Amino acid sequence: MTIQINQAELQSIEQLPDNIQTLLTLIPYSSQWVQTMLDDKVNTVSFPSTDAFVERLSIGLRGTSLLYFDNMNVTVDIKKLLEMNANDLRDMSHFSNEVVAGQDASQKLANSQLLKKYKIVSNDAFSAITQFLQQQQCPNLPLNWSASLSDNIAFYDILIYCESTYKVGQNVKEQALIWAKEQAQTVAELAHYYCCYLTWISETDGRSHPIEDVLAQLSPLVLGNLDRPRVTFELDQKTLRDAITQWDEAGNTLGFTSFSAGLLNLVLNINLTQIDTIEEQAVDYIHELQQQLKDHLATDSFINQAGQYRHYIFSLPTKTIMLNIDDIGYLSVYGDRPKTLENKSVLSI
């Protein structure tokens, strides 16, 4: 079978870039498959790029583009690994294959620094979700059974934000989770609604008006702000701002990634104690958000470790905004979180 990459025929594995060759060593049987196909000249398969080649190879052989690094106890999508430079990818492969349980302090430090550099969450860190659910007397949450890696990353990120932002008692956390379960159908939605409840009760003490009254006013605005432009997956700072500006000049607002994410953004950025002006505040906030996105360049960009989104971070003096581009190319607003004294880096996924 002839393998064509970007219309050029592949003659040997050594022709591939270093990072792709490293990835082939991490995908079981991939190198053997490539060699088998190179020896078969009957058929032809084509790929637009080496990145697409290695992604499709993993999916074809294993039914997934996720890779598990054993000794590091980390699960990462190939899209994320392709973002790493060749040396760091080799180091990650080495740590996973060579480092044993009795690794010394310097090896552990190298591990943690590598994960921090690329904003990768270890599987061990996700135990915070399990501990949280157990503490709230909810260890077997049905929503968690089919949760994707991306959903778990979102849950973890919002949970860490809530723990550092809201100083509430155990009974309030339990109430928040019970209420959130009634609204949510996915783990990501559960996290969004949980944070909505904690924000509401922290601002209002839950006395002046029910949270349902707040969401009833905000829901139509969120539903009216879910439209989003389709762009390329790879945008730099300037082309991102150009895309946002063009969308705005066409009379559109940049929509939210999802309904629950949109609700949370509104709840976090308006005064919930002023129930009579909730809708007016939300309209003003959406207008201000669009202006901020046009007036500033993104300060960081990275692919999340589940490979589902490219994230663009706008780190402003009082808040951190995150935009997403999904694997289809739709650009949207995922998070807009005020910075607090306790939490200066609030969007990490």
Contact between 273 and 298 (Cβ < 8 Å): no
- Average pLDDT estimate for 260-279: 95
Q: What share of the chain is helix, strand, coil (3-state, %, to 5)?
A: 55, 15, 35
- State residue 4 phi and psi, 5-degree precision: -110, 130
Residue 104 has what pLDDT?
Answer: 64
Confidence of residue 293 (pLDDT cuts 50, 70, 90): very high
Burial of 295 (0-12, 13-18, 19+ CB in 10 A): exposed
Contact between 177 and 171 (Cβ < 8 Å): no
Angle of helix 50-62 relative to helix 18-26, nearest 10 degrees?
A: 10
Task: Tell me the per-residue pLDDT of 199-227, one tens digit each, with 9 for 90 and over.
Answer: 999 998 877 789 999 999 999 999 999 99
- Average pLDDT estimate for 239-244: 95
Task: Tell me the per-residue pLDDT of 103-147, one tens digit each, with 9 for 90 and over.
Answer: 565 566 667 788 999 999 988 888 888 788 777 766 556 556 667
Angle of helix 211-223 relative to helix 259-268, nearest 10 degrees?
A: 120
- Residues 6 or more apart from 68 whose CB is under 8 A from it? 74, 75
The structure tokens 């044993």 sit at: 100
Give Cα 232 to chain centroid, integer Å.
18
Beta strands in 220-342 (DSSP E): 300-303, 309-315, 319-326, 331-338
Checking if the pLDDT of 62 tops 60, the result is yes
Alpha carbon separation from 305 to 124, 172, 260, 286, 308 (Å, rounded) = 15, 32, 22, 29, 8
Residue 140 has what pLDDT?
Answer: 58
- For 282, the token pair is 């939300």
Coil, helix or strand for 338?
strand
Residue 124 has what pLDDT?
Answer: 85
